[in-house]
Structure 1
């Protein structure tokens, strides 16, 4: 079977954990392309925007495993400046998670998206609508402005969450987190060493 063309590079393999690559079942096709998932123009980029390896995390700000994995990945990114990070918000824990995702995305108009992400990922407390606003405010985000920007751009941001949910469904993710690293999908939380190995595999 010939390789797909560069502009239609489908994800050909799924990785469960860090085991061997397994072919996709035929009924799972067609999957979103790597470009669809990793280069969505509506998602702000963290890390090196020109990095040679893109990591996509399907995440929920109330998912403890997402937070642990994100903190582990942050440590790896301090030593590896070639990583481009994209967070795909998949708020599976309800409206509070959805609110946190939308406000964080809306904070990008203030240039504070990274601050919002790191703040919510670092908190160990269960989020509420009020605590989300308080945490973002403490991080320097103008929450009222973010709410206004969210109202103005609601169709775009809600559409973004819908695209992410559809991709997660296509990949048969059972929950968060999930990671697309290069062209391999990992369906669990990951440690710093896991990320180092996956990044090395993507570069190879």
Structure 2
């Protein structure tokens, strides 16, 4: 792992320096190693640049698909000019922790659109995700989303409670939740997450940035501001 990272960083040095013709073996590599050892403070910047490059490559693979929501599965302003994508799971403690930050972002930015990608990776979460997309089909997604996180970990009882709070037509919701359309959306979100290199929830996309975890309000706001 260490050698792989060093090789990648050396390659990045050559790329920045325009030294593509200089071999990575022999004297060239030895001198570069020596220079890196003498200047270790540059390594974090290089690693960040390398990760940004890789994130850009992964985003290019998914194109605009990641920012195109399942109809209705949007928080904030559906027509907003700034977009934040959130991959989420109602059974995820860190997703729940991030909710105050998400709502604070929405309250402070009338042009913010949050595209929510339901990605149920925890046991028992899939039915909650399906009901959320059924709520989106009824134009009740934000109400269900907030109620589901407030209700606690997904279970038949908490899902039913959130659906009631959101005012869903349950016959219609149950049909949509079990539909091929919803199944396809969950599969699409899983594939998007895999392509983007996500390993868990919450995960985020803002412009050309791809990041994971409960990163806090300031980091989310900065990502949205950078995207704008």
Q: Kindly report which structure 2 residues correspond to 1:66-105, keeping only aligned pairs within 5 A, or say none.
A: 66-94=95-123, 96-105=124-133
- 1:43 and 1:184 map into 2 onto residues whose CA distance is 24
Aligned match of 1:150: 177
Aligned match of 2:164: 137
- 1:174 and 1:109 map into 2 onto residues whose CA distance is 28
Question: Residue deviations 1:25-81, cap 9 Å, x none?
Answer: 899686211x11001454532211222211110110110111221321111210111
1:31 aligns with 2:58: no
1:62 aligns with 2:91: yes
Match of 1:110 among 108, 125, 138: 138
SS of the residue 1:186 aligns to: strand
1:200 aligns with 2:228: no
Q: Kindly report which structure 2 residues correspond to 1:183-198, keeping only aligned pairs within 5 A, or say none.
A: 183-198=208-223
Aligned match of 2:19: none
Match of 2:198 among 160, 173, 178: 173
1:161 CA displacement: 0.6
- 2:128 and 2:211 map into 1 onto residues whose CA distance is 24
- 1:168 and 1:61 map into 2 onto residues whose CA distance is 16
**Higher RCO (Cα < 8 Å, 6 or more apart):** 1
- 1:25 and 1:111 map into 2 onto residues whose CA distance is 33
- 2:144 and 2:79 map into 1 onto residues whose CA distance is 22
Flag the 1:115–1:174 CA change in 2: closer, same or farther, 3 A: same
Aligned residues: 180
Gaps of 5+ in 2: 1-46
Structure having the higher Rg: 2
CA RMSD of aligned residues (A): 2.3
1:190 CA displacement: 2.3
Q: Mean alpha-carbon deviation: is it higher for 130-139 or for 49-58? A: 130-139
TM-score, with normalisation over the residues of structure 1?
0.79
1:85 CA displacement: 0.7
Aligned match of 2:10: none
Flag the 1:129–1:186 CA change in 2: closer, same or farther, 3 A: same
